[in-house]
Amino acid sequence: MPTTLPSAFTQIDLDSGALAGSANVVHRLNEVGDWLLNVCRKEAVVLATIRLRVREDGTQLSASVDLSAAEIAGSTRYLGDPTLELTVRKGAYLRLHASSGQAGLFAVLRSAKDESVVWDSRQLVSSDLFVFLPLRPGHYLLANLITPAECGIAVLYPDPRDSIGKRLKNPDSMHLKVGTNFPVKTMNLMPGQGVILDTRGPARFTFVLQTPDNGPLDLADWRKAQDQKAWATLLAKHRQ
Amino acid sequence: MSDVMFSVNENTFKAVFNKLYPTVKLPFDGSNALGPVWFGVEGEVHLENAGDIDFEDSDTFFLSEQKIGWDKLVLRLGFNLPTITVGKFCVLRMPDDAPILGGECLVEFPGGELFGGNPDIGPIVLNLNAIIPYVVSEISGRYKIGIRKDGDYQKIYADVQAIDVHPISVQDTVGKLPGLVQAAVYAASYQMLALIPYTWLVDVVLGLLGFPTITQYLLNLLDIESDMEAWLMKVLNQSIGVDNLLYEQIFNAVLSKDEVFKIDDPYPFVPEITAKTADYGGFPKPVLTPTFKIPKVAALVENASVRFDEDNMIVSFDFGMI
């Protein structure tokens, strides 16, 4: 049966403060204690709560939370009941993402003791990571809305004529340290080349398509000719 | 020496066999998955005349070149495309010299997966009815002859011992097969495009797969390397194993066949006769019973046997008293 295309392939514009598609945020849990992670879509509307225990002797060095799965689980719980409980080691990394939906979700980390806010995924802090996967070819604007800073990114069209007989490999991810400004003004990426933005200050990143690149105009004719050639070769063998 | 002995020669036996053994339509179906491609078949065959029958020593005969007639042949294809993971990479890795988990990935970006269905494409139907006149298949078999009492008869049966379904041969002399295969590949292409509805994503996926077009990728999955007749024969004979499917149907069909010959038992010499009394003499007065019955004359069939002797089937039996 046909499968539904995952949102990582369909969500083009990305926002570190409204997670959807391939947008991921990684935050390090440096303080021992009990914490509540609120999953939200709008200000002051908590959709689900996850209880996090950070311990010196915890065994888990990382944890992954799917905010959209938590939202679905939260819809059947009493408000405030945790949908998930996680225990991790001090210094563990928390990866947040949203595997479905396109509206965008964010998370707020609070102290379980007094519910004071200690971290909000809408404003990344130093050493947080914003990780995403550009796929759709085109020209994008990568921006930090807080500093503000901008970087132009071109996701190159994978012209099949450049790779005849070759099998492309997933390209190595691009790792950038981002302070007040981006280290480069422009850069080129291959579709499926991951980007890791390592923040060195407050940040909210957006990655927005400016101009789509639909590939060379003569590509459709080239494809048609390739197919005709393949069929002609087979038919010639059939007639022999 | 038996009381009665008669022989039937090979030609007569073959004529009788060919009148009795061709079967009505035998439906069959089956499927098999071979790597990323699933094949299914649905067909209907009947047995036609035997090409040759050879009497062997003792009580068996060998039948060869018995044609299988095709009434229906439909092939179904499904593609379970290999899952493609795009953009899976390690975000944070422990330093190689860390005391624990040195070099291990702590945070992994899972990327996105395509083609997780089972099957992703299909079923695509290849209606091969247009080429069934060019599908050549035949069987050979060894049968054992025997005679058994059944009701008021001694019946001579040909009991199947072994059947060999020969590999199917396709001789597409009119060249209809390429069109059918092309139509199927186009149908599969449309279904694949529905899974990846963006042209740019198609090119990303094809780049990762190493093929310039979807058509060429599907032809590669189908393993159509040489001509299409050879491909179809490989699919039917090896991938699906049609010979095994046919074997079962044909074996059961010939197993249920009636006798080849039968002999009355008791064997009648003279039937019962109703005679007119007047026909038997000049009676002075009218007789009270104008008719009377002369009972039938018959004998039991005993020590019945059947065997082959060179080119003849010899049937012999004795008469016994009723």
Q: Which two tokens stand for residue B280?
A: 């038997």
The span from the CA of B9 to the CA of B24, in Å, is 27
Same domain for A37 and A73? yes
pLDDT, one tens digit per residue, over A76-92 is 776 667 778 999 999 99
Q: Is B120 in the A-facing interface, judged by CB distances under 8 Å?
A: yes
Same domain for A131 and A211? yes
- Name the pLDDT band for A1 (thresholds 50, 70, 90): very low
Alpha-helix residue ranges (DSSP H) falling in B122-198: 177-195
Q: Please list every residue in chain B whose beta carbon sits closer than 8 Å to the beta carbon of residue A230.
A: 213, 215-216, 219
Q: DSSP state, A160? A: G
Closest residue to B87, CB basis, from A137, A192, A230: A192
Same domain for A224 and A199? yes
Q: Which two tokens stand for residue B127?
A: 């209606």
Same domain for A169 and A187? yes
Same domain for A113 and A140? no
pLDDT (0 to 100) of residue A2? 43
Contact state of A238 with B114 under an 8 Å Cβ cutoff: no
pLDDT at A49 exceeding the cut of 80: yes
pLDDT, one tens digit per residue, over B182-199 is 999 999 999 999 888 898
Q: Please list every residue in chain B whose beta carbon sits closer than 8 Å to the beta carbon of residue A172.
A: 89
The span from the CA of B70 to the CA of B129, in Å, is 9
pLDDT at A59 exceeding the cut of 50: yes
- The residue from A122, A150, A184 where one domain ends is A122
- Name the pLDDT band for B133 (thresholds 50, 70, 90): confident
pLDDT, one tens digit per residue, over A60-71 is 999 999 998 887
Q: DSSP state, B240? A: I
Please name which of A112, A59, A106 lies closest in space to residue A87, comparing C-alpha atoms.
A59
Predicted model pTM: 0.81
Averaged confidence pLDDT in chain B: 89
Same domain for A97 and A207? no
Q: Is A117 in the B-facing interface, judged by CB distances under 8 Å?
A: no
Least Cα separation, residue B107 to chain A (angstroms): 6
Contact state of A135 with B204 under an 8 Å Cβ cutoff: yes
Same domain for A132 and A238? yes
Mean pLDDT of B309-317: 92
Please name which of B157, B136, B164 lies closest in space to residue B63, comparing C-alpha atoms.
B164
Contact state of A235 with B178 under an 8 Å Cβ cutoff: yes
Q: Is the dihedral of CA A180, A184, A187, A193 positive or negative?
A: negative
Q: Which two tokens stand for residue A179?
A: 């302070």
> Letter for the amino acid at B1?
M
CB contact residues (below 8 A), chain A span 40-79, against chain B = 61-62
Q: Which residue has the higher pLDDT, B265 or A43?
A: B265
The span from the CA of B195 to the CA of A100, in Å, is 17
Closest residue to A215, CB basis, from B111, B119, B200: B200
Instruction: Count structural domains, chain A.
Output: 2
Work out the percent of chain A whose per-residue pLDDT is above 70: 94
Work out the percent of chain B whose per-residue pLDDT is above 90: 48
Contact state of A172 with B89 under an 8 Å Cβ cutoff: yes
Q: Is A125 in the B-facing interface, judged by CB distances under 8 Å?
A: no
- Name the pLDDT band for A239 (thresholds 50, 70, 90): low
Same domain for A118 and A3? yes
- The b-or-e profile of A102-118 (16+ CB within 10 A means b, else e) is eebbbbbbbeeeeeeee
pLDDT at A130 exceeding the cut of 70: yes
Extended strands (E) in A56-105: 62-66, 82-89, 92-97
Could you give the 3-state DSSP secondary structure of residue A2?
coil
Contact state of B111 with A8 under an 8 Å Cβ cutoff: yes
Dihedral, B219, B220, B226, B227 alpha carbons, nearest 10: -10
Mean pLDDT of A214-237: 89
Tell which of A1, A3, A19, A132 to mutate to test the B interface (max B CBs under 10 Å). Answer: A3
Instruction: Tell me the ipTM for this assembly.
Output: 0.90
Contact A196, A176 (CB under 8 A): yes
Could you give the 3-state DSSP secondary structure of residue B214?
helix
Torsion angles phi and psi, residue A196, rounded to 5: -120, 115
Averaged confidence pLDDT in chain A: 90
Q: Which domain holds residue A67?
A: 1-122
Mean pLDDT of A149-156: 96
pLDDT at B244 exceeding the cut of 50: yes
β-sheet bridge partners, residue B32: B39
Q: Please list every residue in chain B whose beta carbon sits closer than 8 Å to the beta carbon of residue A223.
A: 212-213
Same domain for A139 and A102? no
Q: Is A25 in the B-facing interface, judged by CB distances under 8 Å?
A: no
Which segment, A16-30, A164-178, B84-98, is predicted with the most confidence on average?
A16-30
- Name the pLDDT band for B304 (thresholds 50, 70, 90): very high
The span from the CA of A23 to the CA of A207, in Å, is 10
Q: Please list every residue in chain B whose beta carbon sits closer than 8 Å to the beta carbon of residue A169.
A: 208
β-sheet bridge partners, residue B154: B149, B263
Same domain for A97 and A164? no
The span from the CA of B276 to the CA of B271, in Å, is 16
Q: Please list every residue in chain A whose beta carbon sits closer than 8 Å to the beta carbon of residue B177.
A: 238
Same domain for A118 and A130? no
- The residue from A122, A151, A178 where one domain ends is A122
Q: Which residue has the higher pLDDT, B286 or A100?
A: A100
Q: Is A149 in the B-facing interface, judged by CB distances under 8 Å?
A: no
Q: Is A170 in the B-facing interface, judged by CB distances under 8 Å?
A: yes
Q: Is A99 in the B-facing interface, judged by CB distances under 8 Å?
A: no
pLDDT (0 to 100) of residue B288? 76
- The residue from A88, A122, A156 where one domain ends is A122
- Work out whether strand B297-309 and strand B267-270 pair parallel, antiparallel, or are unpaired: antiparallel
pLDDT, one tens digit per residue, over A177-207 is 999 999 999 999 999 999 999 999 999 999 9
Q: Please list every residue in chain B whose beta carbon sits closer than 8 Å to the beta carbon of residue A22.
A: 87, 112
Q: Please list every residue in chain B whose beta carbon sits closer than 8 Å to the beta carbon of residue A165.
A: 210
Q: DSSP state, A105? A: B
Same domain for A10 and A21? yes
